[in-house]
Amino acid sequence: MKKTIFSALILTVVVIIFAATSFAAGRRSDVPNVPFLSPGDETIIDLAEKPGITFKWKNSPVPGGGRDAYRFKLIKGFKYDFIVSEELGQGLFSIDVPADKFEDGVTYSWYVEQRDASLGVWSRHDTVWSFKVIKR
């Protein structure tokens, strides 16, 4: 009897967690992705004697609950070595990153997300652009 009640309790918890996760994932997918402009994907950027790189994106479709903010992420390589992770206001469509943040011959990747104001969830970042830096 105790084993049956315990099994039923575990099953209930699993169903609740699955439902909550599915609901959150579905809502996140409702927030439009942000279209990037520059620097272009798979490019080489020569930073010799330049102050830095300006990252630009388009004003994407506004989420159903209104746009709250953008979040910019710059990554060394393609994993989780974040160089810059910054939340920006809803009306900003670019960010300048100084040249001293970059190393010669290293590949970086970047993406931008937007947050739905009423849901408080960020868009997915299915698209990630990359570039290689040269500093001579």
Look-up: residue for tokens 């994106």? 57
pLDDT of res. 4: 62
| Strand, helix or coil for residue 99 | helix
Nearest to 100 by CA among 44, 47, 46, 42: 47
pLDDT of res. 21: 40
Q: What are phi and psi of 85, to 5 degrees?
A: -140, 105
pLDDT tens, position by position, 74-129: 999 988 889 999 999 888 999 999 999 999 999 999 999 988 888 888 887 778 99
Look-up: residue for tokens 């060394």? 76
Sign of the alpha-carbon dihedral angle for 116, 119, 112, 71: positive
Q: What are phi and psi of 116, to 5 degrees?
A: -75, 125
Model-level pTM? 0.74
User: Which class for 101: exposed (0-12), middle (13-18), buried (19 or more C-beta within 10 A)?
Assistant: middle
CA 5 centroid distance within chain: 42
The mean of the pLDDT values for the chain is 81
